[in-house]
Structure 1
Amino acid sequence: MVSSRGHLLTEQNNPHSRNLDQLSSLEIVELFNQEDAKTLTAIGNARYEIARAIDLTSEALQNGGRLFYVGAGTSGRLGVLDAAECPPTFCTSPELVQGIIAGGEQALVKSSEGLEDRVEDGESAIAHHQITSKDVVVGITAGGTTPYVQGAITAAQKQGATTIFIACVSPEEVTVKVDVDIRLLVGPEVLAGSTRLKAGTATKMALNILSTGVMVKLGKVYGNRMVDVAVTNQKLRDRALRILQELTPLSIEEASQLLEKSGNRVKTALLMQWQGVTREQAEAQLAVDNRLSSQTK
C-alpha cells in the first residue's frame, strides 16, 4: 500500500479540463461527453478479467456461495446499489448478493469518507458476515489504496474466499494479489480527483456486467428476458405479463390468470404453459434443473 496518493492516475490533473471554470454550460457538457467515452474503452480493455469474474462468481453461487461487494464512499454506494437491484430483477434472496460499505447504512446518504481509513473495520466486516471459502468478495476502490477495502480483501483471503479487485489505477501503481484483478483505466477526472465521475461510471458499468452475467449463468434469463423477475409492483407485473405474452400465444387476460396460478413466478408460469403441468410439477422440475445445472458447472 502506498502512503501518498498524489501520483495515482485517479488523482492527476486532466489537461483537457484545466480551464473548466471558464467554460460555458454547453462546453462543460461536451467536455464530459468526450471524457466519458473513455469509460467504454476501459471496460473493453478489461473484458477478459470481467468475464473471468463472471465465471468464478457464478460457479461459487452455484455451489452455495454468496457475492459481496465491499467499498467506501462512491465505490461502496455503487456496490450496495448493484446488490439491491438483484432481488427485484432476478428474484434472488437478499443474502445472495450483498453490499458492504464503510460506515454502514448511514454512509449511503451521508458522506462518511473518513471511515475508509480503518483497515480493522474492513476485517471486522468480513467476520461479521461470516464469509467462508464458498463466497466471493469484490473489493471496489477507484484509487486502489482504500484501507477498508484492503483489510476486507486480506481477511476474505484468510477465509479462503474468492477475491476480485476493481480499481481505476494500473497494477504498477497499486499491486494486489487476488483471483481476478480488474483495472478500469479511465484517466484523470474532469474535476481532478473526483472519482464519482468517470471512475464511478466505469465501475457501475463493470458491476452491471458482472451481476447480470452471473445471473445469466444461473439460469435467471431466457433469451434476453428477465424470467425470474420479482412481481412486487405494478410495473414489474406489467413486465411479467409482457414476457408471458411474448413467449406464449396467451391473451392478456389468460396471461394474468396463469401468472396468478404460478404464484407470480414467470419461469413457473412458462413451464406450466409449455408443458401443461401444474404449479407444483413445474416447481419440482425447476428444482431438478437447478440441481443438475449446479452439478455440471
Structure 2
Amino acid sequence: MRAITYAEFGSADVLELTEQPDPHIGPDTVVVRVKAASVNPVDWKIRQGYLQGLIDTDLPAIPGWDVAGVVEQVGLDTPEYQVGDEVYGYVRKDTVRGGTFAELVAAPVRTLARKPASLSFEEAAAVPLAGLTAYQAIQRAGVRDGQTVLVHAAAGGVGAFAVQIARALGARVIGTASERNHEFLRGLGAEPVTYGDGLADRVRALAPDGVDVILDFVGDGAVAASVENLADGGTVASIADPTARSEHGGHYLWVRPSTADLDALTALFDAGKLSVEIAQVFDLADAAEAHRANESGHTRGKVVVRV
C-alpha cells in the first residue's frame, strides 16, 4: 500500500510517500480502506519529537489518527462491522507507527463509529480527534442548559465544535478569538470577545455575574487571564493547562477514543446541529504541505488529506 512515512524526527521535509506492507489485522480490529484523513497539531508535534516520553513513536512511522473510510476486512471478533461499512474514527494506538496517512489502516473497533450519513468522507475525517476533544471536555465539565460557557480559542478546530455542542445543550457561549473570526463565531451562535490584555473586563461586560464553565483549548495563560470571571461553583476544563486541575479544582484532560462519544457526535451532525469547516484538502502525496498548513496556525477549519 502507499503510505506517508517518516524515518526520523524533524520538519515536514521528513515526510515521504512510500510503499509499505498492508497492515496486520488483530481479532478485535478491522482494516479500513482510507478515503480521507486529517491533520491535527499533535501530528506535527509528534513528528518533530516534542512528545517523546509521553507518546512513543516507532520509526519509520505512518502519522495520523483521524480517518474516514470503508471497512475492507474484519477481524475474528468484530461483530460491530461488516465489509463495506462506512466508518470514521480516532485511531489512536499505544504507539505511533501504523497511522491513517495510508491507503489502509488497521483500526481497533473501540476507535471507530459509523460515519455520519450527512457528511462526506473529507468532512467526516475532520471530526474525530477535535470533535471528541470538545465533546469530552464539555461532558467532563458538566455543561448543561442555561449555563454560560467561556470557550477559549473558539474559532479553532476544537473550539468551533465546543461552541456548537454547548449551544446544542442549551448553554450561552462566549468565545475568544481574533477579530477576523468574530463573524464566524456569531454564525456558530457564540458571542465573540477578543483575547489579549483586558480580556477579563470584556468577558465581565458580557457576563457580569460570571461564567459557569471555562473551556480552555489553547493554553498560553488563557485560564489565568479569565479565572476571575468564574462564578461561584463554576468549573474549569483545559486540554493545555494542568493548573485547571492542580490550582483551580477543575479538569485537565487528554482525549480518548470512544465509539459512544462518536455516535453522539454523529447524532448531532445528522440532526443538523453540528457542522464542520474544511480549510484545505490535499492529496496524499502532498501530506507534507498539509502538515505545513496546519503548523502555520493561520488556517480556520481542518486540513484534510484525501487518499
TM over 0.5: no
Query: When the two structures are superposed, what TM-score results if normalisation uses the length of structure 1?
Result: 0.36
Quick check: which one's strand share is greater? 2
Quick check: which one's helix share is greater? 1
Bigger radius of gyration, 1 or 2? 1
Query: When the two structures are superposed, what TM-score results if normalisation uses the length of structure 2?
Result: 0.35
